[in-house]
């Protein structure tokens, strides 16, 4: 155990929770000690709780508070910023087993789901009723709704349809003392009191443990997907095409960028052949029906060609659209096959995308590291992926330096240090530079009000004002 308090803490948890809900085995606690941000610090928790009900969460939080133990909420552990990483002696509270879809209201178009429901499972379920849940992070097949809420996750279609916050109507949350609060509404409109629901979205488990969520849904029909794909001989040209689409006032359903490093990794993995000289791939989708959609797709294709895209391919059939977007879906797992990946998540103004991509290329050359780029280019959310060989400490140090330089360049272009992955641990220095002292003090005041003893996911989401 970690300290003298841990045996008593574990005994209290086991007494209050169902058999098998509390894990202390070293192999298990290590498995739950961190998320997918392998480069972020983590420690061994004192215990892991596998909650299956609201009562389990309340009991865990109350017992942890009584023993002065930090609580680290966790979904599927797919985060990329260290937001679910354990601190020494903490209780990792996993909600992965809370997978019930509690209600789907087809008239009012909302669903109520437990925090452990997978994004894709929700999408499939509501599709049966002709409804659609738009937020679609790349990890949608394996990430939980609770985790998506914790980081305000986005995804490929967020450029047009918004991010998680735009769909959260309400939630049930367990506060730091074990109190249960039910926030929000199920009506289309409502402004009673402060927007506490919005406050909890993106708070990374530092203000409360989200147990279930009420989500706004959209009609599934009425869209006709058309894909436009352009191959570019330089990353900067692809960035110019992104800026041109934005300048034309076109809001695509998706506008994604994949660079040559990603493309080669996917091609080697899948046995594909790439066009000669392909440095970047832009994938756009418009979903307006009929002649309007056809006209927009043609405009996007023309803008791609004018920016140097060659060849430019179009698709309307669903299977062809999915085929063209497959490279984007496979990019991250393909890169993970090459070695540990340090994932960036910066967001710049759309017009600054070409300049940011050029700066990333320069940083890669100067730092002598491999940096691949995938991006939700339509809203300026770039994901430079820095790869360092296993066991190469010098390369890892250069990668971390490149990571910090990318954050600095992003801010210099008027950007923000995280678009959708959250601050977690990795982005604390960047957040400290981005947020002024008054803003940091407001964060601390809110944290102190809701978690006066600082036990909920301590040290995450925002830096302590200096």
Residues 122 and 154 in one domain: yes
Predicted confidence band of residue 273 (pLDDT cuts 50, 70, 90): confident
Q: How far apart are CA 194 and CA 115, in angstroms?
A: 23
110 in the same domain as 86: no
* 60, 71 Cβ separation under 8 angstroms: yes
Beta strands in 185-262 (DSSP E): 209-216, 218-219, 226-232, 254-259
**Predicted local confidence at residue 338, as pLDDT:** 86
Same domain, 190 and 319: no
- The predicted structure's pLDDT at residue 5: 63
**pTM attached to this predicted model:** 0.94
Task: Tell me the Ramachandran region of residue 276: left when phi exceeds 0, alpha when psi lies from -120 to 50, beta otherwise.
Answer: beta
Same domain, 303 and 214: no
Residues 394 and 263 in one domain: yes
Please report whether residue 145 resides in a domain: yes
The predicted model gives 386-409 an average pLDDT of 93
Give the residue from 23, 36, 133 showing the smallest Cα distance to 76. 36
CATH number at residue 50: 3.30.43.10
* Same domain membership, residue 238 and residue 210: no
Domain boundary among 412, 433, 450: 412
Encode pLDDT of 78-127 as tens digits. Answer: 999 999 999 999 999 999 999 999 999 999 999 999 999 999 999 999 99
Residue 20 lies in a domain: yes
Residue 294 and residue 396 in one domain: yes
- Is residue 357 helix, strand or coil? helix
Whether 362 maps to a domain, the answer reads yes
* Residues 307, 333 share a domain: yes
pLDDT 10s digits, 192-209 = 999 999 999 999 999 999
Cα torsion 158, 162, 164, 168 to 10°: value is: -160
Question: By percentage, how much of the chain surpasses pLDDT 90?
Answer: 87
Query: Pairing mode, if any, of strands 47-50 and 91-94?
Result: parallel
DSSP category for residue 12? H
pLDDT score of 466 more than 60: no
Domain boundary among 219, 251, 267: 219
Q: Are 388 and 342 in contact (CB under 8 A)?
A: yes
Q: Are 63 and 199 in a shared domain?
A: no
* Residue-number span of the structural domain to which 255 is assigned: 226-412
What total of structural domains would you count in the chain? 3
Mean predicted confidence (pLDDT) in 36-47: 92
Domain for residue 439, yes or no?
Answer: no
pLDDT digits (tens, 9 = 90+) for 146-185: 999 999 999 899 999 999 999 999 999 999 999 999 999 9
Task: Using pLDDT thresholds of 50, 70 and 90, give the confidence band for residue 329.
Answer: confident
Q: Determine the distance from the C-alpha atom of residue 47 to the mean position of all C-alpha atoms in its chain, rounded to a whole number.
A: 26
Q: Is residue 461 in a domain?
A: no
Residue that is last in its domain, among 382, 412, 442: 412
For β-strands 370-376 and 168-174, DSSP reports them as unpaired
Across the chain, mean pLDDT equals: 94
Residue 331 belongs to a domain with what CATH number? 3.40.462.40
Above 90 in pLDDT, residue 40?
A: yes
Would 173 be classed as within a structural domain? yes
Same domain? 77 vs 107 = no
Query: In this structure, is residue 440 part of a structural domain?
Result: no
Structural domain includes residue 203:
yes
Whole-number CA gyration radius for the chain: 22
- Are residues 283 and 348 both part of a single domain? yes
Domain CATH number, residue 161: 3.30.465.10
**Token pair of 397, please?**
């140090």
Are 238 and 189 contained in the same domain? no
């Amino acid at each position: 155990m970690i300290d003298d308090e841990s045996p008593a803490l574990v005994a209290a948890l086991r007494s209050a929770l169902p058999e098998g809900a509390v894990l202390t085995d070293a192999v298990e606690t290590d498995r739950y000690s961190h998320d997918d941000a392998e480069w972020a610090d983590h420690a061994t928790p004192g215990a892991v709780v596998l909650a299956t009900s609201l009562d389990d969460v309340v009991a865990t939080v109350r017992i942890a508070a009584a023993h002065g133990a930090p609580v680290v909420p966790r979904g599927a552990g797919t985060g990329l910023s260290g937001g679910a990483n354990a601190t020494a002696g903490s209780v990792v509270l996993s909600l992965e087993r809370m997978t019930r879809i509690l209600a789907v209201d087809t008239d009012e178009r909302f669903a109520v789901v437990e925090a452990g429901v997978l994004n894709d499972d929700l999408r499939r379920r509501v599709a049966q009723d002709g409804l659609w849940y738009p937020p679609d992070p790349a990890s949608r097949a394996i990430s939980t709704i609770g985790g998506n809420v914790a980081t305000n996750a986005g995804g490929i279609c967020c450029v047009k349809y918004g991010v998680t916050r735009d769909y959260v109507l309400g939630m049930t949350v367990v506060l730091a003392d074990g109190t249960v609060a039910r926030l929000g509404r199920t009506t289309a409109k409502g402004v009673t009191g402060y927007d506490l629901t919005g406050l909890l979205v993106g708070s990374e488990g530092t203000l409360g443990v989200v147990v279930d969520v009420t989500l706004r849904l959209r009609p599934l029909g009425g869209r006709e997907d058309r894909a436009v794909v352009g191959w570019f001989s330089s990353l900067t040209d692809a960035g110019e095409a992104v800026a041109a689409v934005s300048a034309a006032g076109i809001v695509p359903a998706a506008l994604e960028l994949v660079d040559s490093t990603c493309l080669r990794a996917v091609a080697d993995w899948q046995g594909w052949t790439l066009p000669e000289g392909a440095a970047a791939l832009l994938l756009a989708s418009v979903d307006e029906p009929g002649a309007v959609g056809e006209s927009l797709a043609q405009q996007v294709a023309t803008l791609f060609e004018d920016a140097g895209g060659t060849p430019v391919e179009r698709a309307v059939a669903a299977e062809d659209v999915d085929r063209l977007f497959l490279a984007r879906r496979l990019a991250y797992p393909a890169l993970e096959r090459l070695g540990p990946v340090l994932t960036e998540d910066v967001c710049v103004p759309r017009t600054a995308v070409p300049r940011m991509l050029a700066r990333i290329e320069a940083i890669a050359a100067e730092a002598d590291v491999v940096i691949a780029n995938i991006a939700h280019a339509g809203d300026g959310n770039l994901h430079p992926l820095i790869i360092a060989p296993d066991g190469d400490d010098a390369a890892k140090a250069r990668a971390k330096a490149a990571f910090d330089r990318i954050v600095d360049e992003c801010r210099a272009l008027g950007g923000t240090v995280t678009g959708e992955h959250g601050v977690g641990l990795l982005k604390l220095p960047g957040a400290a530079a981005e947020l002024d002292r008054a803003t940091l003090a407001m964060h601390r005041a809110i944290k102190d009000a809701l978690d006066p003893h600082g036990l909920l996911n301590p040290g995450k989401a925002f830096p302590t004002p200096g």
